[in-house]
Chains A and B, each alone.
Chain A
Amino acid sequence: METAIKTIDLVREFKTSKGVFRALDGVNLEIPSGMIYGLLGPNGAGKTTLIRILSTLLLPTSGDAYVGGYHVVREASKVRSIINLVSGGERPGYGILTTRENLIYYAMLYGYSRREAERRVEEVSQLIGLDEFMNKRLNELSTGMVQKYSLARGLLNNPRILFLDEPTLGLDVENARSIRRLIRRLVDEGYIETILLTSHYMHEVEELCDRVAIIHRGRIIEEGTVEELKERVSSHVIYELTLQGSNGNLDFLRELDSVIGYKVRLSNVPGEARLRIIMAYEDISRVISLLERKMYRVRRIVRDEISLEDVFLKLVGRGLDE
């Protein structure tokens, strides 16, 4: 299978007031074409930095990166001709122009004539489902519609490789679902050859991506299909507990040899929290007694199926959003 993206010992450092911060620390990736590839990691893990380097917006400090076979530093303009980038959580565009005008403008920047641009914008707007918003000014669109507009802009030049940086960031459930459906369609129906998607939403990556790399503190710590990654924790035991009581941290759980990692989420019920815990072997009775000694009341215990989140818990020892 052809390689769409390849990085070799990619390093990116930023100078800050506190010294040098290494955002990427020797990233090695080989992403085959014809798939949605997910880059999963918490905020600050290095996902966006990697996308910025691959899309030629940022130079690496050292190492090499190739996109579509072109070197991102030495052949930047060739890289730009086969890629596009869509970032979530922002509203880029000329608010006083309509959606159609914005898209036609960008199509023309990519070299289409006015007539070709109009035709291309029509095709893309039908694909994305923007038709009824085409004559609205961009600053009148909802956040969800702006993200669809961004996706449409990202398709105008018919890119071989599309970078999606947190494409559903800040969207409500319905809009996020709609964007995810669209992303899947783009690859399944052959509009885009390869998508590199970054996200810190587990379910998004699990739902969309054919392969996933988990990035943490600038390093790729695991890579494979979702099933392969889950397989790597299949011998582990996962429980979800509903707790009441003390609201302190649960670091004391790490005293138990069996505990590999855990994640705490606040429940909708006041005073309640959900604890997801991954253990190397069955040891839930000791966990419960330890919790009760620390003044927690365990209201509910469920042995759960393995999810991508558990892979992250195993690798990092904490939840993705903690």
Chain B
Amino acid sequence: MWGIIRRMLAVVWLTFKEQSNWTSLPVYLLYIFINPVFQVALYGYIYIAVAHLSGITSPEAAFYMVSGIALFNYIGSGLYGVIWTIHSEREHFRTLKYTYLAFPDLQLYLTSRGLYHYLVGLATSLAMLGLGMLLIGYPMLGSLDTLPNIAILLLIGIAWSSQIGVVVAGLSIYSSEYGPVISESFGGLLFLLGAVLYPVSALPPWLQPLAHIFPMVEWMELMRHYLNPSYIPGDIGGLWTLLVIKTLATIVITYLYFRLVERLVRKTGMLEASLHH
């Protein structure tokens, strides 16, 4: 077990080096924070502008939107980190086949490649939440009592979203040309369906069942609840049950799916396939 954890930590270290050592640490920190911070500022000002023009304020709606953006940043960072591994290691670094031979399990490797991105996502999401709430003037946030629940939810968030990332990475193995498009499109789909800016009930009725396939809706709503206990999205116990069931199902299905992918990849030789740049 310790051997596996040590390997995973090595992968986290690699990802940190890969992401950061093109510049100095202060510039890197600026780089990782600047985009999310401006993103939340943009949404915050959109709310302010709309409130100003319409004369209608809705702090709850603003909280929903800003917390959604910040939480999606956490999930999205890790998810992209997992998905992009195939593209960057096969096309750019040309290391995928050697990593495949060295690391005991490709699925676990992809998950490990996302871990550093979740850490960065967590830091930047906290900054987004702080700035966003300040901007919209929302009285924040939950008490220290909710921190254990938030911590558990953050881990559960890694569990389901990294495995969804593995599913998409599995798809992108088959297409060196369309891999980046697949990952971008999938991120957009989650943003659209995952209760980020609006509740699922705001979606057209035919889209709502699709939104409920992923554990994201329950995860988002529970996170909002523990960030701000006055926000009650429904039956909290029921949401927890659904989240745990969907997360376990995602893990099991991904495991089975990826065994199949790995076999097909070895059958087609796609570990070494690359786009002719």
Q: Which residues of A contact B (CB under 8 A)?
A: 14, 52, 55-59, 76-77, 80, 83-85, 90-97, 101, 105-106, 108-111, 113, 153, 157
Q: Are A105 and B13 in contact (CB under 8 A)?
A: yes
Taking a contact as CB atoms closer than 8 A, the residue among A14, A85, A92, A96 that contacts B94 in the complex is: A92
**Chain A proximity mask over B100-127: 1 for CB below 8 Å, otherwise 0:** 1111100000000000000000000000
| Nearest CB in chain A: distance from B162 CB, A | 19
Taking a contact as CB atoms closer than 8 A, the residue among B7, B10, B17, B104 that contacts A94 in the complex is: B17
**Chain A proximity mask over B66-93: 1 for CB below 8 Å, otherwise 0:** 0000000000000000000000000001
| Nearest CB in chain A: distance from B276 CB, A | 14
Q: How far is the CA of A90 from the CA of B95 in the complex (A)?
A: 10
> Any chain A CB within 8 A of the CB of B266?
yes
> Any chain A CB within 8 A of the CB of B24?
no
| Nearest CB in chain B: distance from A203 CB, A | 28
| Nearest CB in chain A: distance from B274 CB, A | 10
Q: Are A109 and B93 in contact (CB under 8 A)?
A: no
> Any chain A CB within 8 A of the CB of B263?
yes
| Nearest CB in chain A: distance from B197 CB, A | 36
Residues of B near A108 (CB, < 8 A) are: 6-7, 10
**Chain A proximity mask over B263-274: 1 for CB below 8 Å, otherwise 0:** 100110101100
Q: How far is the CA of A132 from the CA of B109 in the complex (A)?
A: 31
> Any chain A CB within 8 A of the CB of B22?
yes
> Any chain A CB within 8 A of the CB of B18?
yes
> Any chain A CB within 8 A of the CB of B21?
yes
With contacts A57-B272, A94-B18, A96-B22 taken as known, whether A109 is within 8 angstroms of B94 at the C-beta atoms is no
Q: Are B17 and A97 in contact (CB under 8 A)?
A: yes
Q: Are A157 and B102 in contact (CB under 8 A)?
A: yes
> Considering only CB atoms, which chain A residue lies closest to B93 in the complex?
A94
**Chain A proximity mask over B132-159: 1 for CB below 8 Å, otherwise 0:** 0000000000000000000000000000
Residues of A near B22 (CB, < 8 A) are: 96
Q: Are B101 and A83 in contact (CB under 8 A)?
A: yes
| Nearest CB in chain A: distance from B91 CB, A | 12
Q: Which 4 A-B pairs have the closest CB atoms?
A: A108-B10, A109-B102, A92-B94, A59-B266
With contacts A93-B95, A108-B6, A111-B3 taken as known, whether A56 is within 8 angstroms of B17 at the C-beta atoms is no
With contacts A92-B93, A96-B18 taken as known, whether A56 is within 8 angstroms of B6 at the C-beta atoms is no
Given contacts A94-B17, A96-B17, A96-B18, 20 further A-B contacts (CB under 8 A): A52-B272, A57-B97, A58-B267, A59-B263, A59-B266, A84-B101, A92-B94, A93-B94, A94-B95, A96-B21, A96-B22, A97-B18, A97-B21, A105-B10, A105-B13, A106-B102, A108-B7, A109-B103, A111-B3, A111-B7
Q: How far is the CA of A106 from the CA of B98 in the complex (A)?
A: 9
**Chain A proximity mask over B4-44: 1 for CB below 8 Å, otherwise 0:** 00110011011001100110000000000000000000000
Q: How many residues of B contact A (CB 8 A)?
A: 28
Residues of B near A57 (CB, < 8 A) are: 97, 100-101, 266, 269, 271-272
Which of A14, A57, A95, A106: most chain B CB closer than 10 A? A57
> Considering only CB atoms, which chain B residue lies closest to A61 in the complex?
B267
5 A–B pairs (Cβ distance < 8 Å), ordered by A? A80-B102, A91-B94, A96-B17, A96-B21, A111-B7
Q: Are B6 and A111 in contact (CB under 8 A)?
A: yes
Residues of B near A56 (CB, < 8 A) are: 101, 266
With contacts A80-B101, A97-B21 taken as known, whether A113 is within 8 angstroms of B6 at the C-beta atoms is yes
Residues of B near A94 (CB, < 8 A) are: 14, 17-18, 93, 95
Q: How far is the CA of A77 from the CA of B93 in the complex (A)?
A: 24
> Any chain A CB within 8 A of the CB of B185?
no
> Any chain A CB within 8 A of the CB of B99?
yes
Residues of B near A58 (CB, < 8 A) are: 266-267, 269
Q: How far is the CA of A170 from the CA of B103 in the complex (A)?
A: 29
Which of B3, B11, B17, B271: most chain A CB closer than 10 A? B17
Q: Are B10 and A109 in contact (CB under 8 A)?
A: yes
Q: Are A55 and B101 in contact (CB under 8 A)?
A: yes
With contacts A97-B21, A111-B3, A111-B6 taken as known, whether A59 is within 8 angstroms of B101 at the C-beta atoms is no
> Considering only CB atoms, which chain A residue lies closest to B3 in the complex?
A111
Q: How far is the CA of A91 from the CA of B91 in the complex (A)?
A: 11
Q: How far is the CA of A153 from the CA of B3 in the complex (A)?
A: 20
| Nearest CB in chain A: distance from B65 CB, A | 37
Residues of A near B102 (CB, < 8 A) are: 80, 106, 109-110, 157
